[in-house]
Chain A
Amino acid sequence: MPESSYIPWIIKYRPKSLSDYVDQEEAKTILLNWLKAWDRGSPTKKAVLLYGPPGVGKTSLVEAISKEMNCEVIETNASDFRRREDIEKRIKPAATKMSLSGKKRLILIDEVDGLSGTADKGGIETMLELTSITKHPIIMTANNPFHPDLKPLRDASLLIELKKLNQRDVVKLLKGICEKEKIFCEDEALKIIHTKNEGDLRASINDLQNLGLSFGKVTASLVNELIYYRDREVNPFDTLRNIFTSKYAWQSKLAVSHSQVDIDTLIEWLSENIPVQLTEPEDMYLAFQALSRADIYRGRMKRTQNYDLLTYISEMVGPAISLSRKKTKFKWIKYEFPKKIRMMSETKKARESLNKAAAKIAKVTHCSRETVKSEYIPMLRALYKVNKTLATQIMEGLKLEDDEIRVIVGKSKESTENTEPSSTGPMNAEESLRKFETSTKKMGTRARKKRSQ
């Protein structure tokens, strides 16, 4: 078959049956049992959310099982439009009607974590409705099922996790492919492919095909030379953990360079979590010194527009902080979302009012807004405490609006409620993720603006 080399191996070697499908025993069992339950009438949860990192076989598992059970599969994935209308037109009839042939039917909604935003307007709501009225099993897949938007779907579904594939299984599978393709391979090379792809089977097979077809053999030296670690962006929780646990400078630098959030945001995350992780005062002090140095370089970089300084910022943020942990034992802790970013968004209105007031007073007093904030506003606040009538009279005379007066005298509901130390307990993971996502978007645009200036 000369044309076989043009078929991507990941298609060619997709599992044809459940017995071809390696690993993920637990997930397989749960999924099979759930599907069998449908024979006795519909189970309490009519949908499954199959989740795990890319390339561990989510879609393949559904395909293998459907072949095994002889089902027809109705499928959509992220490349299809999945607005309310699309789902109602395409999926809903398939889900709510019995098939004419009497064959079992499976509804596969691939990549539901892509099912958000404006392009798929109403998609999640419609899917949710579908999970309650469906007459056929619905299987959804996702990389990150913990996206806040997916919460309702998550609650309505049975969650099944697929784990990263272990080395033994991946090597065995790759070896099998090599045998079939008549390509020489070294076991060591296959192991490195697995490691570099962090258990992503799809990526491993792709790498194998690239090398195998180009060189006719797969050796350790080729793999070492030609296969790169795939650039994966790492969320701030893991980035922080990587920084705090790094023993070598290069490890820590790698952690910083793989950070999903930009360096400004990472600095905020570190500032929030240094005291949580490094509980020994000496270590905390050293880490804050490093962060302070990073911040100084950042200030200089912004002022001089000299982007060569970026590397020094990363080195202070990464290795210098990693090496600050001298006495504190590493503890597995839940990192907190930067409260500053949260407080900034919560007090946005109050700050705007304060700035408006400061601008008005600055005009009248021929001062800068800074001076007004440090001089006149404290004065008015004090005045208000000893003589409300007079203070109000003055502030009204300055043509301050109600919201501005409230924030000056410290009665702004928004700001007082939220900044009490007692109310700033840890947020739950979802809330923080949501805030994190909106804030990183904002910070991203801010950073871009700065750069373009």
Chain B
Amino acid sequence: MSSPDMHLLWAEKYRPKSLDDIVNQEDIVVRLKKFVEEKNVPHMLFTGPPGTGKTTAALAFAHDLYGESYQQYILEMNASDERGIDDIRTKVKEFARARVVGSVPFKLIILDEADNMTSDAQQALRRMMENFTATSRFILIANYGSKIIEPIQSRAALFRFVPLSKELVVQRLKWIASKEEVEYDERALEVIYEICEGDLRRAINLLQSSSAIGKVTVDAVYKVMGLAHPKEIREMVENALEGKFDVARERLRKLMIEYGLSGVDIIKQVHREIFSPEIQLSEEQRVLIADYTGEILYRMVEGADDEIQMSSFLAWLVLLGRRTSQE
């Protein structure tokens, strides 16, 4: 077999194939099934946090609509990976050009992370949605519906995905564990939920990596968590607070260049770290840093350079460290 073996990753192996297999988001599933029955679909916009089943629902919907060979009827794209709206337009044009044969009169274009597109690109996308309506339907997927421009929102049927409840996550983890014949402590699965909250993909990934040690215990979960998340992030913050800017920035660069993490990933993890009891900070400092990480995150999302912004963040931490040590 020359295609990659996706069954080695549990999140893929146990991704529901059909709408019938989806355990949550009942309201959404019911509506989608109705579209399958009618073989008619409007453009759709799926919004919700990561790991709540947006992509899964889109793929399962395609599966149910077109049958096993659904792959040939869909075009799957990720807006963060396409270089620009022109790339997207070219791909969509090519894909939508040929008319479809079969019982369903249109093809499906799934555009993931559409909220990462600039509003100009979204305007262009909106025109595409109008131009290709005869042959294609769009499913736009986004974490934040608010970042999708209104004209698109008003042209699409909106589906809001909510985070999975603790019961559902734990139940799903148990089911996978039994299929994989993995032993586990009940408490460990709860810890996984606490770490991942309603993000099922992360939860399954964490279950799989914890199980590689043996029985899934609370310790095993924390151990792989620690291994997965580079310790450099905490050390970077600590170095900066101690006034060692150079060392802190060396770590920053290692994280960005060697681990390939984006500034957004790093600042989000800094934000998580500063509320952990293991890092020595006063309560005031935690709040101050939390506030400032938000500002830095915003700047980077707005299009500023990751390294420059993170460097200015570190310089701020150095100053904060200095001021608190003088008090």
Residue A339 lies at the interface, judged by CB distance under 8 Å to chain B: yes
Of the residues B7, B11, B113, B303, contact of A303 by C-beta under 8 Å: B303
Stretch at the interface among A44-52, A127-135, A220-228, A286-294: A286-294
Q: Which residues of A contact B230 (CB under 8 A)?
A: 378
Residue of B nearest to A292 (CB): B312
Check if B189 is an interface residue, CB within 8 A of chain A: no
Q: How many A-B residue pairs have CB under 8 A?
A: 183
The reply to whether B224 and A292 form a contact with Cβ atoms under 8 Å apart is: no
CB within 8 Å of B: which A380-409 residues:
381-383, 385-387, 390-391, 393-394, 397-399
Selected from B78, B209, B260, the residue in CB contact (under 8 A) with A368 is B78
A364-378 vs B: 1/0 string, CB under 8 Å? 111111110111111
- Mark out the residues of chain B between 1 and 33 whose CB falls within 8 Å of any chain A CB in the assembled complex: 2-9, 11-12
State how many angstroms separate the Cβ of A398 from the closest Cβ of chain B: 5
**Which residues of B have CB within 8 Å of A343?**
253, 257
Interface flag for A351 (CB, 8 Å): yes
Q: Are B258 and A419 in contact (CB under 8 A)?
A: yes
Interface residues of A in 63-81 (CB under 8 A from B): none
Asked if B144 is at the interface of the complex by the 8 Å CB criterion, the answer is no
A sample of 15 more A-B contacts (CB under 8 A), given A271-B307, A366-B76, A378-B230, is A267-B308, A275-B245, A288-B315, A292-B304, A299-B299, A347-B257, A347-B258, A360-B4, A366-B59, A368-B80, A373-B261, A383-B212, A387-B212, A394-B8, A419-B257
Interface residues of B in 298-327 (CB under 8 A from A): 299, 302-305, 307-309, 311-312, 315-316, 318-319, 322
A residues contacting the other copy or chain, number (CB 8 A): 68
Q: Please tell me if B118 contacts chain A, counting CB pairs below 8 Å.
A: yes
A-B contact pairs, 15 of them (CB 8 A): A275-B249, A291-B312, A302-B303, A365-B12, A366-B112, A367-B55, A368-B81, A370-B81, A374-B265, A375-B202, A377-B259, A386-B213, A397-B4, A399-B4, A410-B258
Nearest residue in B to A358 (C-beta to C-beta)? B260
Cross-chain contact A364 with B12 (CB below 8 angstroms)? yes
CA distance A295 to B223 in the complex (A): 38
- Interchain nearest-CB distance for A297 vs B (Å): 9
The closest CB in chain A to the CB of B56 belongs to A366
Main secondary structure of the interface of A (DSSP, over half): helix
Say which one of A12-20, A104-112, A235-243, A277-285 lies at the interface with B.
Answer: A277-285
Docked Cα-Cα span, A387 to B8, in Å, equals: 14
Contact status A350-B258, CB under 8 Å: yes
In the complex, the answer to whether A275 meets B8 with C-beta atoms within 8 Å is no
The 4 closest A-B pairs by CB, nearest first: A299-B303, A397-B5, A382-B227, A387-B212
A271 to B307: give the CA distance in the assembly, Å.
9
- Set of chain B residues within 8 Å of A354, measured between Cβ atoms: 260
Report B176-223 residues with CB < 8 Å from chain A CB.
201-202, 205-206, 208-209, 212-213, 223
In the bound complex, CA of A287 to CA of B259 (Å): 28
Residues of A within 8 A of B (CB): 267, 271, 274-275, 281-282, 284-285, 287-289, 291-292, 295-296, 298-300, 302-303, 339-340, 343-344, 347, 350-351, 354-355, 358-360, 362-371, 373-379, 381-383, 385-387, 390-391, 393-394, 397-399, 410, 415-416, 419, 421, 424
| A299 B223 Cβ-Cβ under 8 A | no
**Are B257's CB and A415's CB within 8 A?**
yes
In the complex, whether B127 has a CB less than 8 A from a CB of chain A is no
Please state if B261 and A275 are interface contacts (CB–CB under 8 Å): no
Q: Nearest chain-A residue to B11 (Cβ)?
A: A365
Considering only CB atoms, which chain B residue lies closest to A289 in the complex?
B312
Which of A291, A292, A367, A416 gathers most chain B CB within 10 Å?
Answer: A292
Would you call A398 and B4 a contact (CB within 8 A)?
yes
Q: How far is the CA of A371 from the CA of B258 in the complex (A)?
A: 16
A299-B322 contact given A379-B209, A386-B213, CB 8 Å threshold: no
Question: Is B250 engaged at the interface, CB distance under 8 Å to the other chain?
Answer: yes
A285 engages B319 (CB within 8 Å): yes
Once A347-B257, A375-B202 are accepted as A-B contacts, the answer to whether A386 and B304 lie under 8 Å apart by CB is no
